Structure 1
Amino acid sequence: MTGFALGESIPPDTAHAVSVSLPTWSANIGYEEGQDWVIGRMTIGYPRFFIHKSIQAFANDLVQKFGPPSSKAMLFPTRQIAARCVAFLTSRAPPALTANLAVIHLTLDTASPSAKTLALFSPAISAVLCSPDAFPFAKEYWQHAGDGISSRRAEFCHGLFRDGLLRLDDDGKQKKPCRGPRRYQKGQSIDDGKPTVVAREEAAQEEESRFLEERFGRNLDVSFVEAAKSAIRRRIAGALRGDHELGGVAPLPDMKTNSRGIVELREDDIYLFPCGMNAIFNAHRALLGVRGGMKSINFGFPYVDTLKILQKFGPGCLFYGHGSDEDLDALEARLRGGERFLALFCEFPGNPLLACPDLGQIRRLADEYDFALVVDETIGTFANINVLQFADVVVSSLTKIFSGDCNVMGGSAIFNPSGRYYAALKAFAQREFEDTYWAEDVIFMERNSRDFVSRIDRVNANAEAIAGVLRCHPLIKRIYYPQYVESRKNYEACKLPGGGYGGLLSVTFHDRTKAVAFYDAIETAKGPSLGTNFTLVSPYVLLAHYQELEWAASFGVEPDLIRVSVGLEETGHIVKVFESALEAAEKGATLA
């Protein structure tokens, strides 16, 4: 998968793609600096950083109808989430910017003959209306929490709104329900002009059929959504293997076994979220809810928004950015001195340095000093490693290798039934959990993930082959891959007997100009995200930490680091692609 134009979706011609082509080093810088020659050509972007055009269009229409002309809208799936956004805004924005905040709620017009079918999707929208000056704070919440609506939800609900099938809900004070265009209204008897049971039923069935055909297409069976969620949860547990496809909507039998090593694990211990960061956000929110307002610990250099969540929501966090044995000793000294914490959050392995903390030692400290352990297994994947044996909560971004197709977002959290906080977390979830994973996204995720396990072996093999080429090349300063990092022993302690070292690696070059030449020359897809079925290369630190490069460098994360997410290409071919890019870098060739 090569040859993408600047700003083109990755995959190409994909309306809900997760990545966007930034094919040169300078294009990445232009994106970060907001230069029009880049931003103006972007058809799409990573969904938590770039507001999808379908969402923008819906927001603009809501502002036009309900808000002052100069206002902006941020869209959320429920009123509770919108309220959290408002609370964040009022706590962080200057008071003058929050004086005129407004929230509107749109719900389905239950008088519509299609209402019964449409209600299966809970097509509600809550919009926070604010001034342009306050909007960056709303976007900050949206990015960190991952609570915004998906682009597929936006398209669906925008269609309902335009057709008059979403009504303003102001806690029982809404105006008379709008029944929408004539084609959605109930049928009339030809004989006397009065509705008849037959006419109503036939009209409703006809309109429901037409609506679903238009909105979903022939291949989306709406009755399949709950079964699809069940299949996804069971794959995450390791209880549904291979290319198994569900044959109907009947509940699956109870799980008898799983690959997680926790006998008591049940399907309802696994929660699905609209994206991986939302799983992390809600894990943190749940722990605050059951254990109170204590600081957390971020151990190891994390993906950017994980640290932001811990810093900005709640009383803050203690950050050990190296995640080294020395950091672990320093943490233990604090604990012995009487300091207490809510939870320790870590990635296994970390992004982008692929380092692995000592989960066994952390588990010992957690048991002795009473804090929770939350492990993000996105990069390692449960097909390669088992971290639930150590963690109270395991989170993951399903957007990545679990999906692979780069066209849908998703996230998950597992509550370990053997953990000391399990009962309290389950009680919190029963009170507070909102299932906001949009039906269409569920369907795509279930389909994409059917061959997840079989794809992992190929990705592992390709990544090891590429790592072998890079680590021996004289231009390469250092390679970061679980097989070669100093913390390999920690990875091996969690590695499954048939597991590999994953599909993500990073490299740095001795000479920055060679790094730029390599990136510009390599003939792969180039853009944000990871875990795609095709190899995807990114100057990760530029994209994730452009405004804080010196800070990142202080933890060993160099600004010119290049991250490689390895795909399913034929091994010999993808190795040659990297060898050719190295040859171009040696010659100083660049397409910039």
Structure 2
Amino acid sequence: MTDFDLGASIPPHTAHAVSVSLPTWKSNIGYEEGEDWVVGRMSTGYPRFFIHRSIQAFAADIVARFGPKDSKAFLFPTRQIAERCLTFVKAHAPPTVAASLDIVHLVLDTTASNPEALATLSPAISAVLCSQEGFPFVKQFWQHTGDGVSSRRAEFCHALFKDGLLRLDDGITETPPPMSPKPCRGPRRYQRTSSVDTTKATPSPKRNPNGDLTTGPDIQETSRFLEERFGRNLDVSFFQPAKSAIKRRIAGALRSDRELTASPPPEHEMESNSRGIVNLKEEDIYLFPCGMSAIFNSHRALLGVRGNMKSVNFGFPYVDTFKILQKFGPGAVFYGHAAESDLDDLEKRLEGGERFLALFCEFPGNPLLTCPNLRRIRQLADRYDFAVVVDETIGTFANVNVLPFADIVASSLTKIFSGDCNVMGGSAIFNPNSRYYAALKEWARTGGYEDTYWPEDVMFMERNSRDFASRIDRINANAEAICDVLRESPLVKSVFYPKFNESAVNYEACKLPGGGYGGLLSVVFHRHEHAVAFYDTVQTAKGPSLGTNFTLTSPYVLLAHYQELDWAEGFGVERDLIRISVGLEEPRHIVNVFKTALKAAEEMA
């Protein structure tokens, strides 16, 4: 997987791909500058930044029917989320912009024939209509929160909309039809041309005799109504068991690569888990449409149960985590180095009487792979009454166990848990031993939590994650081998990896006995020219995201912090840093790929 055209999806020919090819250093800059030679060729992009074509098409049809001329629409899965978007824009935009906003709520028309075939999926869309001037403000909410619709939900609901099966919500509550316990077949009037995870040029999936999905030239398959495709390829009757399996994998319980069954798994399975918390239950794990949604809603939950207080962002953060803490609530105190001296300063603040809602951190951090001292943070939290929220996406719960130190653990399932780079997802665990546990559970029970994870996305995530545990060892080993190659090169100034960082002792404190150091590393060269030559030459997939089953390389700081490069460098995050997410390739092959790229950089001298 190395030969990608500019703007092509990664993986190739995948309708719901999570990454996009930016194969040269210049193309990354062109993307950030909005140059048409890059942006005009992009078939897709990272979903929270690039609005998927399926979502754009549905939004355009909603505007054509309900909106003023030249308005835009952003699609959300529920009325409550759309209304939160309005509240956000009203707080941040000029009054004239806020006054132009409107919401259109579309729900399933339960008077249609055979509605039970659809009601199990709860298809609904709430569109926020805005002016051109309001677009960037609504886009901020979309990007930061991760609570926009998924491309699969948009594709499915758009088909219903075209067939007249979604109606304006007039506020009249109707009694829903009984949910069918069996997968139902939609009538032929519901048919449309579509695919679940392929483009028109790609053969659609079908099952082989073993029941596994393969690709084949079944032309009729691409013309089936989407609900029928659920019934054949992604059986909607297994939606709830799929969520259960995902949650148990996140807990590190026994259920891993088993085939799904309709009967619920025994509860005692949860007692033995890699989290080391025997009272952890399946219902303590909450699923979200993406990892940023998990972080945003964890923040919402804590504001809801603890009040309007500032938070602490500890360590150099993924960009949107800090934006959430800054823009939703009273703000945050920022410690960009995650050093012991930062904890000393925080402790002085606490001793002086300052109080905080929560401390948010990543373990390890992105992109410097720095690990905060969770033991000391936990001690401070217990003494001074603040919550601890840890994002374990990069460490992964197959390598580290951070739950004993946290009140909430968040993770992006989009990354290595899925691996296939074709579906989004996120999770948050409420630690049952947390002092805030009862209040958090009550918040969730009384409407704070909405399960908006689209069933089709759930089914893909369950399928992708079955071999999650078995992939980790290979990825860990490949990453260490690449680290060794880079560390030996005289062109390289720094390699960032948990095993070799100054904070390695903090990683070891959370590392599982059989765990490794993860699949993410970063490299900085002595000279800009060497970084460019290395990136342009390296024969891997090149684009945003991480945790893919194939190696994925990115000039991360250019993409994440292009408008604030000087600020990032103030925290040791150099603008020419290249981030490498290591995959499952044959070890000797992937090592040679990086040796070849280093040789090309050497020839620039």
TM-score of the two chains, using structure 2 as the length reference: 0.91
Amino acid at match of 2:477: A
Alignment-derived partner of residue 455 in structure 1: 471
- Alignment of 1:307 with 2:322, yes or no, is yes
Deviations 1:390-427 (A, max 9, x none): 00000000000000000000000000001110000000
- What is the match of residue 286 of structure 2? 271
User: What per-residue deviation string (whole Å, max 9, x for no partner) do you get for residues 467-488 of structure 1?
Assistant: 0110111000000000010000
Kept in 2, the 8 Å contact 1:164–1:181? The answer is no
Q: How far did residue 249 of structure 1 move?
A: 1.4
Instruction: Return the match for 1:330 from 320, 323, 345.
Output: 345
1:156-195 aligned at under 5 Å gives the runs: 156-172=156-172, 183=189
Following TM superposition, by how much is the alpha carbon of 1:219 offset from its aligned partner in structure 2, in angstroms? 1.1
User: Is the Cα–Cα contact under 8 Å of residues 245 and 256 in structure 2 kept in the other structure?
Assistant: no
In the alignment, the residues of structure 1 paired with residue 82 and residue 295 of structure 2 have an alpha-carbon distance, to the nearest angstrom, of 18
Q: CA deviation at 1:215?
A: 4.9
User: 1:340-363: per-residue Cα shift (whole Å, max 9, x none)?
Assistant: 000000000000000000000000
Counterpart of 1:408 (choices 423, 438, 451) is: 423
Q: What secondary structure does 1:170 align onto?
A: coil
Contact preservation (8 Å) 1:505, 1:563:
yes
Q: Secondary structure at the match of 1:412?
A: strand
Equivalent position amino acid for 2:96 in 1:
A
* Alignment partner of 1:362 is 2:342: no
CA distance in 1: counterparts of 2:563 and 2:327, whole angstroms: 18
> Could you tell me how far apart the structure 2 residues matched to 1:372 and 1:218 are?
45
How far apart in 2 are the matches of 1:18 and 1:116?
32
Moved more, 387-396 or 234-243: 234-243
Distance 1:106 1:50 in 2: 23
Which residue pairs with 2:86 in the alignment? 86
Contact 1:114 1:184 survives alignment (8 Å): no
C-alpha deviations, 1:31-71, integer Å up to 9, x for none? 00000000000000000000000000000000000011111
* 3-state DSSP of counterpart to 1:121: coil
Residue aligning to 1:223: 237
1:189 corresponds to which residue? Answer: none
Is the 8 Å Cα contact of residues 188 and 225 (structure 2) preserved in structure 1? no
Q: Is the aligned partner of 1:517 residue 2:533?
A: yes
Whole-Å separation in 2 of the counterparts to 1:90 and 1:386: 40
How many angstroms does 1:105 deviate by?
Answer: 0.3
- Where 2:105 maps in the other structure, the secondary structure is strand
Q: Give the counterpart of 1:250 among 263, 283, 308.
A: 263
Asked if 1:483 corresponds to 2:496, the answer is no
Query: Structure 1 pair 572/42, CA: closer, same or farther in 2 (3 Å)?
Result: same
Are the aligned partners of 2:54 and 2:154 in contact in 1 as well (CA < 8 Å)?
yes
Structure possessing the higher radius of gyration over alpha carbons? 1
Determine the structure 1 residue equivalent to 2:199: none
Q: Which residue does 2:459 correspond to in 1?
A: 443
Aligned equivalent of 1:385:
400
- Corresponding residue number in structure 2 for 1:287: 302
3-state SS of paired residue (2:405): coil
Deviation at 1:242, TM superposition (A): 4.2
**Who is 1:204 aligned against?**
none
Note the residue ranges of structure 2 that are not aligned, 5 or more in a row. 175-185, 192-222
Cross-structure match for 1:545: 561
1:106-146 CA-partner distances (Å, limit 9, x unpaired)? 00010122311211111000001110110110000000000
Matched residue of 1:405: which SS? coil
1:220, distance to aligned residue in structure 2 (A): 1.5
Deviation, 1:182, is 9.7
In 2, the alpha carbon distance for the partners of 1:418 and 1:493 equals 20
Per-residue deviation, 1:256? 3.0
Partner AA of 1:121 in structure 2 = L
Note the C-alpha offset of 1:511.
0.3
Instruction: Return the letter of the residue paired with 1:96.
Output: T
d(CA) in 2 for partners of 1:326, 1:22: 38
CA contact (8 A) 2:275 2:403 kept: yes
Residue correspondence of structure 1 range 125-136 to structure 2 within 5 A: 125-136=125-136
Is the Cα–Cα contact under 8 Å of residues 118 and 227 in structure 2 kept in the other structure?
A: no
Contact 2:76 2:148 in 1 (8 A): yes
Deviation at 1:588?
1.9
Q: Residue by residue, what CA displacement relative to the aligned partner does 1:305-348 show, whole Å, maximum 9, x if unpaired?
A: 00000000000000001111111100000000000000000000
Equivalent pair of 2:18/2:47 in contact (CA under 8 Å)? yes
Contact 2:286 2:427 in 1 (8 A): yes
State the identity %.
74
Counterpart in 2 of 1:190? none
* Equivalent residues of 2:541, 2:553 under 8 A apart: yes
Distance 1:240 1:234 in 2: 7
| Aligned mates of 2:313, 2:600 — CA distance in 1 | 39
d(CA) in 1 for partners of 2:187 and 2:137?
37
Distance 1:183 1:291 in 2: 51
Q: Partner of 1:202 in structure 2? A: none
Secondary structure of 2:99's partner?
Answer: coil
Change (3 A) 1:213 1:423: closer
1:564 is matched with which residue: 572, 575, 580?
A: 580
Aligned position for 1:232: 246
CA distance in 2 between counterparts of 1:240 and 1:41 reads 45
Q: Distance in 2 between matches of 1:81 and 1:169?
A: 15
- Give the SS at the match of 1:572: helix
Q: 1 CA distance for matches of 2:138 and 2:264?
A: 40
User: 1 CA distance for matches of 2:380 and 2:173?
Assistant: 54
Structure 1 residue ranges without an equivalent (≥5): 175-179, 186-208
User: Aligned in 2, Cα 1:8/1:557: closer, same or farther, shift over 3 Å?
Assistant: same
Say whether residues 1:426 and 2:441 are aligned partners. yes
Tell me by how many angstroms 1:245 deviates. Answer: 1.9
1:22: which partner in 2?
Answer: 22
Runs of 4+ with >3 A deviation: 180-185, 209-217
Deviation at 1:216?
3.6
Mapping 1:114-133, distance limit 5 Å: 114-133=114-133
Structure 1 stretch displaced more, 133-142 or 213-222: 213-222
> 1: distance between equivalents of 2:96 and 2:148?
25
1:56 equivalent in alignment to 2:69: no
Matched AA of 1:219: N
Aligned residues: 560
Establish whether residue 529 from structure 1 lines up as the match of residue 542 from structure 2.
no
Over aligned residues, Cα RMSD in angstroms?
Answer: 1.7
Contact 1:112 1:184 in 2 (8 A): no
Equivalent residue of 2:271, what SS? coil
CA contact (8 A) 1:113 1:184 kept: no
| In structure 2, distance between residues paired with 1:474 and 1:241 | 46
Distance 1:527 1:212 in 2: 30
Query: How far apart are residue 100 of structure 1 and its match?
Result: 2.0
* d(CA) in 2 for partners of 1:579, 1:242: 36
Tell me the residue number matched to 1:574. 590
> In the TM superposition, what are the counterparts of 1:6-45 in structure 2 within 5 Å?
6-45=6-45
Task: Find the residue that maps to 1:104 and give its secondary structure.
Answer: strand
